[in-house]
Structure 1
């Protein structure tokens, strides 16, 4: 029988309930620790650790390829990966860092050692725009001179200045691209501009360079917005903390705080580190971490996360992580890793572009040479058309069409408390047909609550006073549910002695020299308590699927307290939203008893349910549905869900209370246990795929139209550049619509 799910059985013993629900609570505790305990790390290659750098100035995936090929030629470089979508590079090398950075700069790109340096070292507005604006101004003056037919030599000089100012960077990048064996957009544009000059079209060449520079600048601005879609998370954690030194509060750097130290967070301040509240009570806004819309009350013993906002009272917090190991730090690392992973669609587009560009480059040479040689056509005319074909051949818009949308989607989902581990998961969730859900901790809250009270030989107040006084000596979840209820209703407590927990049965204690028992019906029957008076009532309660705690002594039965795991208030509505989102069927898989599974299924509205399942049984059900051709997701929170999560096409972990194993195995993590985020993730995925397909078709259509206009002579070189850079920019802007997703 599944360990955790049995906790809700009404025939379970008090002690069994204690141990098993405690296991669930332990999983929750372990998860909180695990989310903060593992610092971001990078794989070592041949024993050499990988170092991360931030790359600036990449506006096309081929730029990443050029950097990779250039660095691989350096001595001591074992492995290098440059991710265009995130602007990050991971390199395992014995080469000096200064040598690596010099090489990247020599190729024509900016580089910084860390993401923080990247943000602080971003080029200013004038640094980004000055060359473009200057070349644009000179081009306008040159056009005026040409139009007025005055000083043609001045116009040519101005065109030349535009070519030098605007073309220096792309020509430099083109040189290193060719040297590394790549044909990127810089190569194509540089050849087009130089070719235009060679046939005397100085104005055309200068216009090509300016439009290309303008397009690149606009693209980089838009791409940086995408790459920093989770940049706000980096700014969540304050740089300093308040601590007590003697009788005074002083500030210290957050980097200097060690695990176990006590910090103070004032009302209106952000919490700087993960920890546990030791004194104070306040509402804390956890939206940046969990996506929760409403602040959560935090008091003594509650866990708080770095980056969340203390809205009201003064909190004293015992630190449980260093600044580099907080939940927000791990979130950023997970999101950046996910953004660097390619989706199947993106990989397909990249493979197409890698083959497409050399083919069209060859066609451009054929177009330039064959007509003059075979049909004695004009060399300048067909050379010009070959240059147009080169520009049109640039696949920039096509290869940008996918990664920008995916990076945007993963970033905006993280801000909503949904961690999507890569483009593959984002793409796969759009095609789901069936969703299987665990019961405890997924469809239910995963912790017991008092359902009802049935006094027999005493008043309700007396029953609660005795039961809660005894259970206050225990720490198992059913006891906590009873004592929590007593605290909320201000039940007076009685002095107890001789407290003893009987494994598998319950708790006994003495009150006023009388021994009382709180536990399983069978235990009280065993010790000779007059349980026959509640037999009929027990049968009725048994059918309701609740855990039953009998309170009594040898002489009499005082009453019954029923406890059950509550169905999530949002579960039913969420399942309806999944239906509206196109999910064909929802299934509950649980290790709990049939009657409890039946009750939860009725309350939530799942299409089917299966009870009495072991972890392997859940996995086998997933496999059987997959064999019928279904795309299946599994949603769970426990260790016992990990096999099913790994087997499903998409594994979805309830992150806030889930076990670390489930979180590591899953493809998607719902950070705040908000099941209602699941329809949001599905709709976001489908919106992203729609945008990607729009981008791809738009890019291909623009290319085809431009190609058709080449041969009749209806296309000019600068219009070809405008169509290419314009298409790339429109694709990026269309992808940025994902950032507005609600």
Structure 2
């Protein structure tokens, strides 16, 4: 699929975002093809994967050569490492041309060359291989956001049934213009934003609002592209061009949010900009200043200057951060917590506010029977008749009634002449008597209003002229919602609910969980709410599972999608909970905080040992080899410290 700007959705602010380049704004020195970096095939074409594979083959050849010709020593590995360093050196030169001599690539190169100089050829080869593999993983993650947007675009049908004089004909949905009349059949996705001019039906707007219940639509009501028509046929007057329909607006919001989201630079890269020049300057000063200022022996001090450079070889530093990040990401993955890279971990560690979607996130996402009120019959009779009328229906309320009847061992009544009544319910005949199950009408008893409190959906069961009873259904909270919210509050996070559902339902759930709530929100409203919290100084985590959450997920400092959600939400988000547990959000934040603490410990350990041996080497107390051994020991220590993150 071509990029979005090539499909007529307008130019993006960033060519890389449009054409599949890295969304984090970080240039790794190699070109990204038009198709994006979301697949291994694309990475092979770009060269990122090919470089790693060629280098791995060179390492294997070096191992074979070492066994066949032991006298060659470590030279086969040195030659192999040159193969791996070649693309890295190209990036170093590219960064130098951009005026950045102290990039992560420069730091890694110094590490590898320094390790070779002290005879640690195997360590040098491993550092280069890990770096190239890390580049592959980062590129794969970067390509996923574009894939998510493309899935969102795919929600709009490619064709629409256009009404003309003498009949209808199929046309491209992208060609529709305001004022034209189209027909949406039962069960079809609506091809354009429009206004109903004829027909009645329930329309599933969950892709845009997240509300789990179909919304009744009749003449004069607005409908949106990408939503799903229910059981009735609708004639619609188009009100917006394809480039400005509901889905196109969400696409723009996601893209703009990603463009505005400041890239988080890698920790080691930021550190390298200070550390690398300091080490080089220190080595030069040790080699030159004593002979110039005090007439000391040039040979002695040049040796000590070289020793400073070797001591400063950042092997432990280069390994410390990726080791901690890899351990944290692996630990999270083992618990169903997928986090897309170190930048996300760093951002999660600073989170102090969490904004949840309601439907499918804090709740199960499907209605369940909450109460059965028998008025002119028994509870079993009410359930049996409602279940009989619900057989064969895919409406969420029908499924809830059938599930409740099955749970209570109530057999559905035998119903003949079943007929769907668009926007109202379903009718049939039981023992020759007319029966109805659906929305209460003007003659609904007062009990219906009482049952509807708290945002419940109330349906009426009628047989002949008698109302047998009422059934109330509600989207219930997840089992761990209260515990998950409490865990977030315990770590100092503010918890807010942003939902497209009706205010009554939102308020009932928010009160039970003790959190703030904002209801009746469209995708752009959720986005505005997240930005409002950020403007107040909060570091916001947005949690959701629907397409309607995609813009807010992209705009938040960290977006977390639940595994049962839509592909668009999963791809747009920075992290995902595969199990959909509310408590996973607090677990992610705690894991990120542990990871950042471990990185700080590792950096302090590596630098502390280097500083200690730097001083003793300059003073002549210790020689080069003890310092080199200390650096190797630091590498082991920081790796072992990072592996502690694998413990739960």
Tell me if both proteins adopt one fold, taking TM over 0.5 as the criterion.
yes
Secondary structure of the 1:521 match is coil
Evaluate the alpha carbon distance shift between residue 493 and residue 711 of structure 1 in structure 2; reply closer, same or farther with a 3 A threshold.
Answer: closer
Q: Residue 431 of structure 1: CA displacement?
A: 0.9
Secondary structure of the 1:715 match is coil
Is 1:427 the counterpart of 2:346? The answer is yes
Structure 2 CA distance, aligned partners of 1:89 and 1:394?
A: 34
Higher RCO (CA-CA < 8 Å; seq separation 6+): 1
Residue of structure 2 in register with 1:616 after alignment? 524
Structure 2 CA distance, aligned partners of 1:672 and 1:175?
A: 43
Is 1:669 the counterpart of 2:571? The answer is no
Residue of structure 1 in register with 2:514 after alignment? 605
Residue of structure 2 in register with 1:539 after alignment? 449
Is 1:577 the counterpart of 2:484? The answer is no
Q: Given that residues 353 and 399 in structure 1 are in contact (C-alpha distance below 8 angstroms), is that contact kept between their aligned partners in structure 2?
A: no
Is 1:403 the counterpart of 2:322? The answer is yes
Structure 2 CA distance, aligned partners of 1:612 and 1:93?
A: 45
Q: Residue 413 of structure 1: CA displacement?
A: 1.3
Is 1:716 the counterpart of 2:635? The answer is no
Structure 2 CA distance, aligned partners of 1:170 and 1:435?
A: 50
Residue of structure 2 in register with 1:364 after alignment? 283
Q: Given that residues 444 and 565 in structure 1 are in contact (C-alpha distance below 8 angstroms), is that contact kept between their aligned partners in structure 2?
A: yes
CA-to-partner distance for each residue in 1:323-380, whole Å, 9 max, x for gaps? xxxxxxxxxxxxxxxxxxx9946x3422543664466346535534554566443344
Structure 2 CA distance, aligned partners of 1:185 and 1:613?
A: 52
Q: Given that residues 20 and 32 in structure 2 are in contact (C-alpha distance below 8 angstroms), is that contact kept between their aligned partners in structure 1?
A: no
Q: Which runs of 5+ in 2 are unaligned?
A: 1-14, 22-26, 94-105, 138-261
Structure 1 CA distance, aligned partners of 2:80 and 2:73?
A: 12
CA-to-partner distance for each residue in 1:491-544, whole Å, 9 max, x for gaps? 223332221111121111011110011111116x3xxxxx4xx32x22321224
Is 1:450 the counterpart of 2:361? The answer is no
Structure 2 CA distance, aligned partners of 1:599 and 1:95?
A: 52
Q: Given that residues 226 and 736 in structure 1 are in contact (C-alpha distance below 8 angstroms), is that contact kept between their aligned partners in structure 2?
A: no
Q: What does 1:213-362 align with in structure 2 at a 5 Å threshold?
A: 344=264, 347-353=266-272, 356-357=275-276, 360-361=279-280
Q: Residue 177 of structure 1: CA displacement?
A: 5.6
Q: Residue 735 of structure 1: CA displacement?
A: 1.3
Residue of structure 2 in register with 1:378 after alignment? 297
Evaluate the alpha carbon distance shift between residue 547 and residue 474 of structure 1 in structure 2; reply closer, same or farther with a 3 A threshold.
Answer: same
Residue of structure 2 in register with 1:596 after alignment? 505
Q: Given that residues 346 and 592 in structure 2 are in contact (C-alpha distance below 8 angstroms), is that contact kept between their aligned partners in structure 1?
A: yes
Residue of structure 2 in register with 1:262 after alignment? none
Structure 2 CA distance, aligned partners of 1:711 and 1:472?
A: 86
Q: Residue 684 of structure 1: CA displacement?
A: 0.5
Evaluate the alpha carbon distance shift between residue 78 and residue 630 of structure 1 in structure 2; reply closer, same or farther with a 3 A threshold.
Answer: closer
Q: Given that residues 503 and 519 in structure 2 are in contact (C-alpha distance below 8 angstroms), is that contact kept between their aligned partners in structure 1?
A: yes
Q: Residue 678 of structure 1: CA displacement?
A: 1.1
Evaluate the alpha carbon distance shift between residue 592 and residue 673 of structure 1 in structure 2; reply closer, same or farther with a 3 A threshold.
Answer: same
Q: Residue 567 of structure 1: CA displacement?
A: 0.9
Secondary structure of the 1:492 match is coil
Secondary structure of the 1:436 match is strand
Residue of structure 1 in register with 2:114 after alignment? 188
Q: Given that residues 215 and 726 in structure 1 are in contact (C-alpha distance below 8 angstroms), is that contact kept between their aligned partners in structure 2?
A: no
Evaluate the alpha carbon distance shift between residue 91 and residue 470 of structure 1 in structure 2; reply closer, same or farther with a 3 A threshold.
Answer: closer
Residue of structure 2 in register with 1:517 after alignment? 436
Q: Residue 680 of structure 1: CA displacement?
A: 0.9
2:55 to 104, 125, 147: 104
Residue of structure 1 in register with 2:150 after alignment? none
Secondary structure of the 1:566 match is strand
Q: Residue 674 of structure 1: CA displacement?
A: 1.7
Evaluate the alpha carbon distance shift between residue 700 and residue 89 of structure 1 in structure 2; reply closer, same or farther with a 3 A threshold.
Answer: farther
Q: Given that residues 590 and 612 in structure 1 are in contact (C-alpha distance below 8 angstroms), is that contact kept between their aligned partners in structure 2?
A: yes
Evaluate the alpha carbon distance shift between residue 359 and residue 172 of structure 1 in structure 2; reply closer, same or farther with a 3 A threshold.
Answer: farther
Evaluate the alpha carbon distance shift between residue 418 and residue 538 of structure 1 in structure 2; reply closer, same or farther with a 3 A threshold.
Answer: same
Structure 1 CA distance, aligned partners of 2:426 and 2:54?
A: 71
Residue of structure 1 in register with 2:495 after alignment? 586
Secondary structure of the 1:612 match is coil
Q: What does 1:23-38 align with in structure 2 at a 5 Å threshold?
A: none
Is 1:92 the counterpart of 2:42? The answer is no
Q: Given that residues 223 and 404 in structure 1 are in contact (C-alpha distance below 8 angstroms), is that contact kept between their aligned partners in structure 2?
A: no
Q: Given that residues 77 and 125 in structure 2 are in contact (C-alpha distance below 8 angstroms), is that contact kept between their aligned partners in structure 1?
A: no
Residue of structure 2 in register with 1:53 after alignment? none
Q: Given that residues 427 and 685 in structure 1 are in contact (C-alpha distance below 8 angstroms), is that contact kept between their aligned partners in structure 2?
A: yes
Q: What does 1:421-570 align with in structure 2 at a 5 Å threshold?
A: 421-522=340-441, 525=443, 531=444, 534-535=445-446, 537-570=447-480
Q: Given that residues 458 and 558 in structure 1 are in contact (C-alpha distance below 8 angstroms), is that contact kept between their aligned partners in structure 2?
A: yes
Is 1:734 the counterpart of 2:641? The answer is yes
Evaluate the alpha carbon distance shift between residue 454 and residue 441 of structure 1 in structure 2; reply closer, same or farther with a 3 A threshold.
Answer: same
Structure 2 CA distance, aligned partners of 1:570 and 1:649?
A: 25
Q: Given that residues 413 and 681 in structure 1 are in contact (C-alpha distance below 8 angstroms), is that contact kept between their aligned partners in structure 2?
A: yes
2:589 to 682, 685, 698: 682
Residue of structure 1 in register with 2:562 after alignment? 654
Evaluate the alpha carbon distance shift between residue 498 and residue 736 of structure 1 in structure 2; reply closer, same or farther with a 3 A threshold.
Answer: same
CA-to-partner distance for each residue in 1:284-318, whole Å, 9 max, x for gaps? xxxxxxxxxxxxxxxxxxxxxxxxxxxxxxxxxxx
Q: Given that residues 436 and 462 in structure 2 are in contact (C-alpha distance below 8 angstroms), is that contact kept between their aligned partners in structure 1?
A: yes
Structure 1 CA distance, aligned partners of 2:640 and 2:557?
A: 31
What do you get for the CA RMSD once the two structures are aligned? 4.2
Secondary structure of the 1:516 match is strand
Structure 1 range deviating more: 494-503 or 510-519: 494-503
Structure 2 CA distance, aligned partners of 1:613 and 1:736?
A: 43
Task: Report the TM-score, using the length of structure 2 for normalisation.
Answer: 0.65
Q: Given that residues 544 and 553 in structure 2 are in contact (C-alpha distance below 8 angstroms), is that contact kept between their aligned partners in structure 1?
A: yes
Is 1:637 the counterpart of 2:545? The answer is yes
Structure 2 CA distance, aligned partners of 1:565 and 1:415?
A: 30
Q: Which runs of 5+ in 1 are unaligned?
A: 1-43, 51-64, 112-121, 136-160, 192-207, 230-341, 526-530
Structure 2 CA distance, aligned partners of 1:440 and 1:175?
A: 52
